[in-house]
Structure 1
Amino acid sequence: MNDLGELKEYVRVHAKGQRIPQYQHILDRIVTDEGSGPGSWVGEWCAAGADRQRQGRHVDAVRRFALARFPFVDGPARADAAARCVAAVERWSADVAGVEPLTVELKDGTVRCWTYGLSSAEKRPLFLVMGGIVSVKEQWAPMLAQARRLGLAVVVTEMPSVGENTVPYDPDAWQMIPGLLDELADRADVRQTYATALSFSGHLALRAAVDDPRIRAVITVGAPVGRFFTDVEWQEGLPAVTLDTLGHLIGVPAAAIPGRLAERAIAVEQLQALEIPVYYVASRRDEIVPYAETALLRDGVRRLELLEHDDVHASPGHVVRTQLWTTRALLQARGVRNAQTGLLNVLLRLAR
């Protein structure tokens, strides 16, 4: 069972990011993290999702079911919420032309995705989207409906051991990304891959980009890079929900996490080998990913663009500005300069 106070604190940025209005009303009704009945974490979020389903608002239902299984599946209640989340996307996608599921079998496991624009006849540059250790692919699926404007093939998926992804989250987990690109090469121009990979998946995308020149840009928010993995004292002070989730993904007790992550760190020499732009959003008071990661990035990444917020992890007080900035980063990485980028510049100035 999770600490209820921490769950409520850390779900806020996800609720804001997914544009769930009045989420506080749901949180106020939650008094326990046990079971799936009224007043429980799973029960109240699922009830909100089911209500949206009855109204035919399937995207809104997806978002609420995704938070019902937050932060990870730890028993039957959250397993049911995760299944309802997937089913809601399936129902929504049936009415959205071009959105299709995809299952990729890699040597270490199965990667399931939602896609738009994959075609052997017209191979477009690839936009790869992944969330972090608590985010399932379904919560990003609605952005596929906007993909037509981008001129890209879009794939949203999960990082290893999250959601339906069965690839182990071990020190070699980053190799999932090159493996996925290999499998998509006949349906997308993977030589031009742009990755928006948030938090811990941002670490995987950066590490993959060191060895895989097909990745042309990495856009990330609050990604661990080096110190997070090597600083045992920092790891010992992590929130319980983070340690519990990492323990679940790695397959060890949460108390055993500190001191077991060092070989995942990206060295400054590896970052110096990157020739691509890296767009990184940092929170100066981040309690999960140390702000000191920005110093490593400055020392290593030649084409670094940094947005800093005076906020805690994932900058819940600056969600709109972060979303605008990362959207502009994708267009900028592709060399797009048009009315849309001009509008984004204006909105970013207003968002300050």
Structure 2
Amino acid sequence: MSDIAELKNFVVAHTSSQGLPPEHYDPILDRVAHDDPGGGPGSWVAEWTRAADLLAAQGKPLEASVHYNMARFPFVDGAPRQAALERCTAAFDAWRTAAFPSIGRLDVELPGGRVRCWTVGLDTAQKRPLLVMTGGIVSIKEQWAAVLPQLDAFGFAGVVTEMPGVGENTLPYDADAPAMFPALLDAVAARADVSRTYLLALSFSGHLALKAALRDDRIKGVVGAGLPVRDFFTDTGWQPRVPRITTDTLAHLTGSTPEKVYDLIRDWALTPAELAALRVPVAHVTSLRDEIIPPGDARLLREHVRGIRLLAHDDVHGSPSHFAQTRLWTLLSVLRIAGGYRAERTALTREFAKLRYGADRARVA
């Protein structure tokens, strides 16, 4: 059971990323009175599910999927949220089958569990460079997979999936979690040019991506946002200030408890030497008022990762007020790292500049 005030606060970044305006989601949040894992009228899962069911009945599967995703947020803690997750996946499946049949489904069975993905552009005859996209500890693949048609248009093979323990990913979230990325590359090597792989890895999955890039030279670049580096894992003065939703989610994913989880993950920190050893381009979006990731982590990236490109927003974690800028900049960063795409990069740069100059609190470094 999560604190309702925190739930309502932290879901905003995720509603923003999926195009839901406040005038739409505020009435839903107003109806939420509690977060009983058993559901029931007025519960978080029941009210979001009710809105999703209505959209599904109206023949709007993608919009329904977005609302079912919010119903299972931040993680599955019982039968009602599990049902919401299953309906979210089914609604997305219905949307892609009708609107974008080029989006495929891929299950990668590994010794530790199954990684389920949405894909595009995998082809044995014409292997494309690979872009793998992942979210953080509270976002599932359906939240991001609608970007796949755009990746297809840019000529990438695309794989959108989840962190270990999140959504339908049954791998454990442990010290070996970064190995998921090389395993995914192995799984699609016959249908993509995995020697040119780029990782667009948001929040906590960005931490895994940097670790994977240290070990797998098929990864040619990492673009991330709000990722933990070292201080999040080691700063015992910061950790008690981390929102309870984040701590509870980490405990859930690692099979620990809120009281013990930070001791468990302390050794996962990246060292300055590891950051300096990165030999691939890195781009990162920082939120200057991030209440989850301590400011020292962005500083470490800036000081130790050679040639890093940074975008900073005066915003909280996920920069919900700057999502459009972040979306353009991260895609532009992938294209810069991949090389080529001159016309596309020019167009995206102009579009980003328009948004940036209209939001003078954002800066590019």
TM-score normalised by the chain length of structure 2: 0.94
CA contact (8 A) 2:129 2:194 kept: yes
Q: Secondary structure of 2:14's partner? A: helix
Q: Secondary structure of 1:103's partner? A: strand
Structure-2 separation of matches of 1:51 and 1:340? 38
Match of 2:58 in 1: 55
Between 3-12 and 285-294, report the one with greater CA deviation.
Answer: 285-294
CA contact (8 A) 1:235 1:257 kept: no
> Structure 2: which amino acid aligns with 1:343?
A
1:37-61 Cα deviation digits (max 9, x unpaired)? 3322111111111122122211111
Matches within 5 A, 1:336-351: 336-351=340-355
Partner residue of 2:119 out of 115, 121, 140: 115
Match of 1:242 in 2: 246
Q: 1:233 deviation in Å? A: 2.0
Q: Secondary structure of 1:128's partner? A: strand
> Structure 2: which amino acid aligns with 1:284?
L
Q: Secondary structure of 1:331's partner? A: helix
Q: 1:343 deviation in Å? A: 2.1
Match of 2:363 in 1: none
1:242-271 Cα deviation digits (max 9, x unpaired)? 110000000011121232222101111111
Match of 2:193 in 1: 189
Between 194-203 and 100-109, report the one with greater CA deviation.
Answer: 100-109
Between 1-10 and 118-127, report the one with greater CA deviation.
Answer: 118-127
**Alignment pair present for 1:91 and 2:94:** yes
**Alignment pair present for 1:81 and 2:84:** yes
The CA RMSD over aligned residues, in Å, is 1.2
Q: 1:319 deviation in Å? A: 1.1
**Alignment pair present for 1:279 and 2:280:** no
Matches within 5 A, 1:1-352: 1-21=1-21, 22-34=24-36, 35-95=38-98, 96-352=100-356
CA contact (8 A) 2:152 2:158 kept: no
Q: Secondary structure of 2:152's partner? A: helix
Q: Secondary structure of 1:247's partner? A: helix
Q: 1:27 to 1:176 in 2, by over 3 A?
A: same
Structure-2 separation of matches of 1:294 and 1:122? 38
Structure-2 separation of matches of 1:308 and 1:225? 16
Match of 2:360 in 1: none
1:296-349 Cα deviation digits (max 9, x unpaired)? 112221120011111111112211111111111111111134333222222222
Q: 1:19 deviation in Å? A: 0.4
1:202-248 Cα deviation digits (max 9, x unpaired)? 00001100111111111111000111111122122211101100000
Structure-2 separation of matches of 1:242 and 1:182? 31
CA contact (8 A) 1:101 1:114 kept: yes
Structure-2 separation of matches of 1:147 and 1:332? 14
Q: Secondary structure of 2:70's partner? A: helix
> Structure 2: which amino acid aligns with 1:33?
D
CA contact (8 A) 1:232 1:259 kept: no
CA contact (8 A) 1:226 1:267 kept: yes
Q: 1:20 deviation in Å? A: 1.3
Structure-1 separation of matches of 2:82 and 2:101? 29
